[in-house]
Amino acid sequence: MKSFGKRAAGQRLERMKHSPRWTGDGFRNQHPVLPGLRDPEQKVSIGDFLCGGTRRVPKGPLPSLNPLEAWARPVDTGLRATWLGHSTVLIEIDGLRVLTDPVWGPRASPSTLAGPKRFQPVPIALNQLPTIDAVIVSHDHYDHLDYPTIREMARMDLPFITSLGVGAHLEAFGVPPERITELDWWESWRSPKAELAITAAPSQHFSGRGLKDRNATLWSSMVIETPRHKVFFSGDTGLTTEYADIRERFGRFDLVMLEVGAFHPSWGDIHLGPENALKALELLGGGAFMPVHWGTFSLALHAWDQPVETLMELGPKQGAQLVLPRLGEAVEPSRVEGVTPWWRGVDTLEGPGLPEEEAKRPMPKTMPWPVD
């Protein structure tokens, strides 16, 4: 199946083996898991994943905007972000555009017939995107590295910035090798055309697209910076003390994008969830906080809106500057004052929506490929 991608080989593999994070047969996280993050007593079975949980998808579509008109206007502050669903965000930073983890496909899966189905459409078609200066792919899981999306984007003249080993998948999907830059943690790519740098930074996660390639590629958070602005993108991660190291190296961020959805007590070391996202924000030194990795796929047992409702409750108490735009709403973080809970009321709308049993059907039992 082409969507599985390809394993690294040759010079690419040799470079990977020189990484301090390479263990001989794959990559590892830098530090042991923080105490108390994972509760091994609360395991999730396939049955739980298929049938457990309540309100895992909304009853109707979430409010969204077409961002084309907003993108045509200048960015007064120099920094603007448009959440397009899950972990896909268009960052406009001092006249440049960076797209994170682009996913336009209908499922977070190698199959078009099975796997977590998108319950919220992207507010704009892929071919309507404005000129992009760089595309970030944080790691190789299906809800971050999407085969049909990359196949389309491979036809565009775009540089792809990703983690070690992920370039093999991109090449297999049609991206020319000269347009791929693979980074180890703390390595940077610099645009040859502008003062834009993208640096891979630590995260606490794992990788893999099939049954036998766990941790065969690296996973990263990413720092996007120009001389005027700095943006942090978590990719997927659990809570790690390395966020303090990131703060020491880069200072305060103008915008922090942290994953908040698809969490569970037994996954506490590989996903943040809203409470640990606030702890990560503190380690990073604060900054405007825009949650990502929610509102698009059902990838856990919690209610679809639980991540943001928890943030609405806890964030103000901890002094967090929440930025919660609607899908497709272009916002300048320094100008956001307060949060309107625009997602409330969706479950009272009339209409069939997406059948919950369909949305939370992640995969057939015989094909346990990783999603997150």
CATH code, 55: 3.60.15.10
Going by the DSSP 8-state scheme, the letter that residue 61 receives in this structure is P
Domain with 259 in it:
39-350
Q: Does any domain span residue 128?
A: yes
Rounded CA Rg of the chain: 19
The closest alpha carbon to 83, from 326, 351, 342, belongs to 326
Q: Does any domain span residue 24?
A: no
Q: What is the pLDDT of residue 366?
A: 33
Number of structural domains the chain divides into: 1
Q: Does any domain span residue 20?
A: no
Q: What is the pLDDT of residue 115?
A: 87
At 229, the pLDDT band (50, 70, 90 cuts) reads very high
User: How do beta strands 197-201 and 188-190 pair?
Assistant: antiparallel
The closest alpha carbon to 331, from 231, 228, 262, 223, belongs to 231
Q: Does any domain span residue 358?
A: no
Percent of the chain scored above 90 by pLDDT?
A: 78
How many angstroms separate the CA atoms of 160 and 242, rounded?
Answer: 25
Q: Does any domain span residue 143?
A: yes
Q: Does residue 316 register a pLDDT over 80?
A: yes
Q: Does any domain span residue 162?
A: yes
How many angstroms separate the CA atoms of 303 and 58, rounded?
Answer: 9
Mean pLDDT of 251-265: 93
| Residue 32 backbone dihedrals phi, psi, to 5 degrees | -60, 160
Q: Does any domain span residue 362?
A: no
For the chain, the average pLDDT equals 90
Q: Does any domain span residue 220?
A: yes
